[in-house]
């Protein structure tokens, strides 16, 4: 039986099933193993890992510990309550109208990040003017309809992850700032930091960045240098302000002091760097990478909520959950009717009942005539269906992004 325990409850003889740590960075070669020494337990604690999943069928048990299912159910109840308080998102244009422009912004921004990384590898300075224009384009798309660009950025291949991750962090951070009422000038500076936050990874060998298995201690040390390297590189561009430099340097810091490079804790980490840390982890968790399959948005939010007890500011974490919602635009869901649908718009007061485009029948295993369904409405009013849960596009071999706009389907 899988149970969730505090790391302080670990004993030699327990079988670790999941270390529950962000970024898949921990001091062990394997993710699952039998604890054989107190030194292994000490390494877990020193890595800032607070919650661990054990398998009581393969090792010692903790009798009163909740099962993973019980812990998850309780967390999801709390998430629904948090997300229910989300403010209404004002959009200037429809999702369908913004998709074409957002597609162009996504392509141009990804190309720019590729150029920045290539220039850095050649020892060239970052052309901040070009970055400024791209951040402005991203911001304007978010202001018109945040769901379009953020939804498109949910789809990344393992090969273009490094570049599109930077674009995603920029777009999500801009949307996050907007939802928290941060002024436009500060939001723009935060967007610059989001787009450039991983500049230091240009100095990390591709063989390490794209390694399909766990990193060795030496490789992890290389990865941990990228915030400082990125900061040093960006300091060569005097027109870049303090906010993007701070985000580049401190987006891996954690409130309990377990982050890097400076092991800052609590409010010693700036508000925007803390926000960037949440966005960075969220996008990493929801993306396919060389060493792990991306998880559903709700699962990523559940992890962030759990980690907010130690790693993230709980207020910022909850604000981010309200910003992106339980079912972000672009999420593929299974309906009670057995149909697959893609979320196109959140409901202003009921985040569990968004507007979706249905396009596939799991009963007949065939595409069906696409239609828009407002899940908040009753039978005969374009509704009368219910979300059962998230579904994997790979499982059904479908492309939900084709149906974000029915005009393009």
**Does position 382 have pLDDT exceeding 60, yes or no?**
no
Q: Peptide bond preceding 261: is omega within 30 degrees of 0, i.e. cis?
A: yes
Q: How confident is the model at residue 76 (pLDDT cuts 50, 70, 90)?
A: confident
pLDDT tens-digit map of 275-317? 999 999 999 999 888 777 888 887 888 889 989 989 999 999 9
pLDDT, position 235: 96
What percent of the chain lies above the pLDDT cut of 90? Answer: 56
CA distance 145 to 152: 12
Of the two residues 26 and 366, the one the predictor is more confident about is 366
Which of 44-58, 83-97, 99-113 has the lowest average pLDDT? 83-97
Is the pLDDT score of 47 beyond 80?
Answer: no
Is a pLDDT exceeding 60 seen at residue 93? yes
In terms of Cα–Cα distance, which of 288, 19, 37 is closest to 29? 19
- What was the pLDDT predicted at 214? 78
Tell me the mean pLDDT in the region 377-405.
Answer: 80
Position 380 scores a pLDDT of 52
Among the listed residues 189, 198, 201, the one whose alpha carbon sits nearest the alpha carbon of residue 135: 189
Backbone torsion region of residue 72, taken as left when φ is above 0, otherwise alpha when ψ lies between -120 and 50, otherwise beta? alpha
With a pLDDT cut of 70, the percent of the chain lying above it is 93
> How confident is the model at residue 407, as a pLDDT?
59
More confident residue, 157 or 63: 63
Q: How many residues does the chain have?
A: 409
Q: Does a cis peptide bond (omega within 30 degrees of 0) precede residue 273?
A: no
User: Chain-wide mean pLDDT for the chain?
Assistant: 88
**pLDDT surpasses 80 at 406:** no
The tokens 């978010």 sit on which residue? 142
pLDDT confidence of residue 159: 74
pLDDT of residue 26: 60
Q: CATH number of 95-324: 3.40.50.300, 1.10.3210.10, 1.20.120.330, 1.10.3720.10?
A: 1.10.3210.10
Confidence of residue 53 (pLDDT cuts 50, 70, 90): very high
Q: What is the pLDDT of residue 341?
A: 96
What mean pLDDT comes out for the span 372-400?
80
Which strand (E) or helix (H) includes residue 193?
helix 184-196
In the structure encoding, which two tokens stand for residue 134, read together? 């791209």
In whole angstroms, how far apart are CA 79 and each of 4, 24, 273, 333?
A: 18, 23, 23, 18
User: Is the confidence at residue 351, as pLDDT, over 90?
Assistant: no
């Amino acid at each position: 039986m899988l149970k969730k325990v505090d790391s302080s409850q670990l004993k030699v003889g327990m079988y670790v099933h999941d270390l529950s740590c962000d970024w898949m960075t921990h001091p062990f070669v394997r993710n699952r193993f039998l604890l054989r020494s107190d030194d292994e337990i000490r390494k877990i604690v020193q890595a800032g890992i607070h919650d661990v999943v054990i398998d009581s069928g393969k090792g010692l048990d903790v009798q009163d510990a909740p099962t993973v299912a019980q812990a998850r159910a309780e967390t999801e109840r709390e998430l629904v309550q948090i997300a229910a308080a989300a403010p209404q998102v004002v959009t200037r244009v429809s999702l369908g109208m913004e998709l074409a422009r957002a597609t162009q912004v996504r392509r141009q921004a990804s190309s720019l990040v590729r150029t920045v990384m290539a220039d850095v590898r050649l020892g060239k300075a970052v052309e901040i003017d070009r970055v400024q224009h791209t951040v402005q384009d991203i911001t304007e798309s978010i202001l018109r309809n945040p769901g379009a660009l953020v939804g498109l950025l949910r789809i990344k291949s393992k090969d273009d992850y490094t570049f599109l991750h930077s674009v995603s962090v920029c777009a999500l951070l801009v949307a996050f700032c907007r939802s928290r009422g941060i002024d436009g000038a500060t939001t723009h500076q935060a967007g610059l930091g989001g787009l450039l936050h991983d500049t230091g990874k240009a100095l990390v060998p591709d063989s390490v960045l794209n390694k399909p298995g766990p990193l060795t201690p030496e490789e992890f040390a290389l990865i941990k240098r990228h915030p400082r390297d990125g900061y040093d590189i960006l300091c060569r561009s005097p027109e870049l302000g303090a906010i993007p430099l701070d985000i580049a340097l401190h987006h891996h810091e954690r409130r309990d002091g377990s982050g890097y490079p400076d092991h800052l804790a609590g409010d010693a980490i700036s508000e925007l760097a803390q926000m960037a840390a949440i966005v960075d982890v969220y996008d990493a968790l929801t993306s396919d990478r060389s060493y792990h399959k991306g998880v559903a948005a709700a699962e990523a939010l559940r992890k962030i909520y759990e980690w907010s007890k130690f790693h993230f500011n709980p207020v910022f974490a909850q604000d981010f959950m309200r910003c992106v919602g339980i079912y972000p635009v672009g999420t593929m869901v299974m309906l009670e009717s057995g149909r697959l649908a893609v979320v196109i718009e959140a409901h202003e007061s009921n985040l569990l009942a968004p507007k979706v485009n249905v396009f596939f029948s799991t009963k007949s295993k065939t595409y069906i005539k696409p239609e828009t369904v407002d899940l908040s409405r009753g039978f005969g009013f374009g509704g009368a269906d219910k979300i059962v849960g998230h579904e994997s596009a790979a499982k059904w071999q479908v492309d939900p992004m084709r149906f974000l706009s029915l005009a393009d389907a």
